[in-house]
Amino acid sequence: MDDKSKKLAPAELNRRKFLMNSMGLVGGAAVAKTAMAEEAFLPPAVPSWTRSLGPGVLTNPYGQPSKFEAHVQRRNVEWLTADKIASISFTPLADLKGIITPSGLVFERYHAGIPEIDPSKHRLMIHGMVSNPIILTMDDLMRFPSVSRIRFLECPANGGMEWRGAQMEGVQFTHGMLSCCEWTGVLLSTILEEVGVDPRASWILAEGADGSHMSRSIPMEKALDDAMIVYAQNGEMLRPEQGYPVRLINPGWEGNTCVKWLRRLEIGDKPWYHREETSKYTDLLADGRAREFTYEQECNSVITSPSPEKPLSGKGKGKGKYWVEGLAWSGRGRIKHVDISFDGGVSWREAKFTSVVEPKSLTRFGIEWDWDGSPAMLQSRSVDETGYVQPTYAQLRAARGTNSIYHKNAIHTWKVNADGSVSNVQIS
């Protein structure tokens, strides 16, 4: 080391090292030496894995992602909940492709932890205002006609930490109480036909078998429309985290209505809100009043790349062409279009859909962007088939104030900085 380099501060040394490493094989002598010491794997060299045999079949009887993807995982926010039993973890949205959330990455929300349920001992009881009350085993349930549907599931608290201002540096935390699976099971309407519902019945109480006995009142219209009793997700049986062996899915509705580890459906003629064990979420308005019935998850969208987890400089490229992509969804039906702004909402360009467009499902959008290397404000704005347009923060706060936790679906802004890093900011 010469005198000059001795004077460099540690941070500067680190940056110099980073730059040298990123120069790769064409870099300085020191870098080339390290690469030689390891192995030549870049073309025209033939890497070791091409010159040897790998482990055989059944190395992983139930496969795992590559070890190089170990950073892709659910995460929690330590300060958000007192413990991990009544808590939540977030889906790593930045690392996902397409619209299906892999089963092992679906965000988790428990009020009393994950019960371990032996499916042979589990029963689903359906009773109340019906002519033939029944107690179903899992085998009984499998005998009903089955359907599979791709639907998103979102906790209404998604984005709740952002109501008062930008706070979380990552799309995993600003929007990750969100997943989308192919759910397989029986339409609730099919089962209701079997039990013979009293025509005066108008509500259903759904109760979970976990320690929280979580229960929710579901209006009969939803039950007869598209509610599903599901036992499988993404082609495999439900994961314990998602309600194994059976759960309720109310497509497009608040995640908390989708009771997991489902053990009981009681048919009645009024909601069970007077009962102590039945809690529900309400939206606090600006004037302190609460919105009582909020079931649908409104139209929403977010750019997943670039994002704090996916900076532009991470690839060592700087300015130039990038594929900007993200997710849009609406609890009211299909996404009709998504517009992207690169200047904080002054001008907009329509994005392409790069996935199938299913109702009440995540929809993947993308758009090519030629970044000139200067700071930019990226936003996505979605519109659903009912014509509902995703609101700005100003519009949402005018309607709902800042006291809320739930149903935050405002247009989100990522600030792309000149160095390619991405920060969470809020503008009107």
> Could you list the residues that contact ligand MTE (CB under 6 A)?
106-111, 153, 155, 179, 208, 210, 212, 214, 241-242, 255-256, 258-261
Q: In the complex with Mo ion, which residue's Cβ is closer, 110 or 414? A: 110
Give the Cα separation of 316 and 311 in Å (integer).
10
Part in contact with Mo ion (CB under 5 A); list of ranges 7-15, 151-159, 317-325, 345-353:
151-159
Nearer CB in complex with ligand MTE: 155/376: 155
DSSP three-state, residue 397: helix
Neighbours of 45 (CB within 10 A): 10
Q: Which amino acid is at 316?
A: G
Q: In Å, how far are 19, 25, 49, 177 from 36, measured between CA atoms?
A: 19, 9, 17, 45
User: Closest CB to ligand MTE among 109 and 149?
Assistant: 109
25 burial class (0-12, 13-18, 19+ CB within 10 angstroms)?
exposed
- Please identify which residue in 256, 355, 363, 382 interacts with Mo ion, judged by CB under 5 A: 256
Place of tokens 């090292």: 17
Q: Are 133 and 116 in contact (CB under 8 A)?
A: no
Pick from ligand MTE, Mo ion, none: which does 92 bind, CB < 5 to 8 A by kind? none
Nearest distance from residue 232's CB to ligand MTE, in Å? 13
For the bound state, the minimum distance from the C-beta of residue 157 to Mo ion, rounded and expressed in Å, comes to 6
Distance of closest approach, residue 155 Cβ to Mo ion, in angstroms: 3
| Separation CA 304–CA 175 (nearest Å) | 9
d(CA 204, CA 216): 8
- Residue 265 touches which of Mo ion, ligand MTE, none (CB < 5 to 8 A by kind)? none
- The stretch near Mo ion (CB under 5 A) out of 102-110, 168-176, 227-235, 304-312 is 102-110
If the CB atoms of residues 258 and 367 are measured against Mo ion, the closer one turns out to be 258
Among 155, 171, 335, 396, binds Mo ion (CB under 5 A): 155
- How many residues contact Mo ion, by CB under 5 A? 4
Minimal distance in Å, beta carbon 136 to ligand MTE? Answer: 17
Spatial neighbors of 369 by CB under 8 A, at least 6 apart, are 321, 322, 323, 324, 342
Tell me, what DSSP letter sits at residue 315?
Answer: G
* Least distance to ligand MTE, CB of residue 270, Å: 22
CA distance 428 to 426: 7
Residues that bind Mo ion (CB under 5 A): 109, 155, 255-256
